[in-house]
Homo-oligomer: A and B are copies of this chain.
Amino acid sequence: MQSIVERLHAQYAHALDDDRLEDWPDFFTEAGKYRIATAENEARGLPLPVLSCDSRAMMRDRIQSLRHANVYEPQRYRHMISAVMVEKLDDKHARSTANFLVIRIMQNGDTSVFASGRYLDRILLAPEPRYEERVVVCDSRRFDTLLAIPL
C-alpha cells in the first residue's frame, strides 16, 4: 500500500513538473476534491481555501483557463516529496500525509524555493489509485502566482 501511494505521488509530481497539466485532473476520482490552503488557516479552522475544485470537471476548466490566460512568465517547477505516511482506512481507501517542497525555475535560470507544506490525501486504491481528496497545506501564507498552477 505504501508503494502504491508513493507511486501515485511520484506520477503526480512528474506530470506537473513536465507541464502535462491536462493530465492533472486524471489523478483524481470523478468527484475528487482539491484545495490549496495555508497552515495558518487550517490551524484556526478557517474554511477559506486559496484555491478549491470539487470535481474533475472543475479541474479541467481550471487548466483550460490557465492555458488561455497564460500571462505568466515561463517557469518550471520541481516537486520534492518526502516523509510519506500511509494509513489504511478500509480495503479500498487509504489516508496519506506527506511533506512537499516545490522549487521554481524562472526562464533566466533563477531558482528558488517556491512553496513548502503538507499533502493531506484520501486515496481510492483500486482499480486505479486516485485521489478522492487532496488538500495542499502551504506553510507560507504568501502567494504570488501560487494561484495560477496546481501544486
Partner-B contacts on A (CB < 8 A): 2-3, 7, 9-11, 13-14, 17, 39, 76, 78-85, 97, 99, 101, 103, 105, 108-113, 115-118, 139-142
Contact = CB atoms under 8 A, between A and B. Distances in A.
Contacts of A101: 78, 80, 101, 103
How many identical chains are in the complex? 3
Interface of A: prevailing SS: strand
Contacts of A82: 10, 13, 79-82
B78 A80 contact: no
Quick one: which of A11, A85, A108 has the most chain B CB within 10 A? A85
A17 B82 CA distance: 12
Contacts of A76: 39, 139
B142 A109 contact: yes
